[in-house]
Amino acid sequence: MRSLVAALLIVALLFAFTSTFAAEHKYVGAKACGMCHKTDKQGKQLDIWSKSKHASAYTTLTGDEAKKIAEKKGLKKAANESPECLECHVVAAAPDPKEGVSCEACHGAGSDFKAMSTMKDKAKAIAAGLMEYKDEAAIEKHCKTCHNAKSPSYKEFNFKEAWAKIKHPKPA
């Protein structure tokens, strides 16, 4: 419990001081997004995410392997409390860091576009802050902000394979 509280505090401080965006736009969490994005009509996007490694990204920081990596890197804190690890394993200013890398890591802080009236109109949602990617090259570039050689456990990142596992389009 103490580690979780410390992690929450670190995440909150890290992003409160370094991100004007986080101060202006609130992160709502996967549970809020999932209220609508769990149905067949929406492509069961919540299910796709919850079965992915992104959903357990924070949890991996609490394991023995993460402890070894943190020690080897000379981190002053446990992996699940270190900003160096949290920057890729949780969403900035997330209401619950245990959600790991959830919807808002890619789509932006949901407070401005989560309303049903906004989400029903894609252009309106984008205008309100929903992040849109023009093509897979743009998605890959975003993914590589974390999936890169900076990671101490980096393995070659095959975007096409990774994207095939987490792609979550809305059915036509």
CA triple 113-115-121, angle to 5 deg? 70
| C-alpha closest to that of 118 among 16, 9, 28 | 28
Written as six digits, the tokens of 88 are 């890729």
Q: What is the mean pLDDT of residues 30-43?
A: 94
pLDDT by residue (tens digit) across 89-140? 999 889 999 999 999 999 999 999 999 999 999 999 999 999 999 999 999 9
The domain segmentation of the chain, as residue ranges, is: 2-166
Could you tell me if 168 and 45 are in contact, meaning their C-beta atoms sit under 8 angstroms apart?
yes
pTM for this prediction: 0.81
First to last CA, the chain: 44
Q: Which two tokens stand for residue 59?
A: 């949890």
